[in-house]
Amino acid sequence: MAEKLKIPYPILVEGKYDRLRILDIVDPSTQIIKTDGFGIFKKNETAALIRALAQRSRLIVLTDSDGAGKLIRSHISNLVPRDRLIQLYIPQIKGKEKRKAEASKEGTLGVEGMEHDLLRNLLAPYADGTGVAREANNPLSKTDFYIDGLSGGPHAADRRDALAAKLALPRGMTANALLAAVRLICTYEEYLALVERDEDA
């Protein structure tokens, strides 16, 4: 059995089953905070805790890749400065969690339904620091997205969806959300290869 990951950042998830799934992968010392789904919109103490944690550390946000997950993620982004968040995304995979009688409204798996290896690969860069280092040294910017037709153009949303698919990210991401995710996942050179742009052009 693989050694559990020691993640130095608190992880925000939606519910208790998501938390249990993450605990299969990370060391018990890792702080995992539940939003209780849409409960975060009503619970002032949860919002206060997130703000307090963000003053001491960056936070990993790992919600489902459905409409509800996007709303919760957006709300968290409004609670604290965006640069205090590490936005991680699970792919949109059709299916149903074993414990549920029916699939979700959008018919996709949530965090609790993801394979251990997928979640481990998603979180591992933040155990050894490579994820943060990659982001800090990545010059990818909004200008690149504009040059490559990922923002500001009539087909930008389709182009973003195509890039998201290559990276196993959910469809329908805004330009800002996709930019933040790509800066975490890829080096600048890897990004250029994905969009098939000649760096010297």
CA distances to 51, 184, 189 from 21, rounded to whole Å, are 24, 22, 33
Residue 161 pLDDT level (bands cut at 50, 70, 90): very high
Q: Where are the domains of the chain?
A: 1-136, 138-191
Mean pLDDT across the chain: 89
Residue 101 pLDDT level (bands cut at 50, 70, 90): low
Three-class secondary structure of residue 85 per DSSP = strand
CB 5 within 8 A of CB 58: no
Residue that has been written with the tokens 């890829």 in this structure:
186
- Is the per-residue pLDDT at 13 higher than 80? yes
Tell me the per-residue pLDDT of 39-53, one tens digit each, with 9 for 90 and over: 888 888 888 999 999
Residue, of 80 and 2, whose pLDDT is higher = 80
CATH 3.40.1360.10 fits 1-136, yes or no: yes
CB 160 within 8 A of CB 150: yes
Tell me the per-residue pLDDT of 23-39, one tens digit each, with 9 for 90 and over: 999 999 999 999 988 88
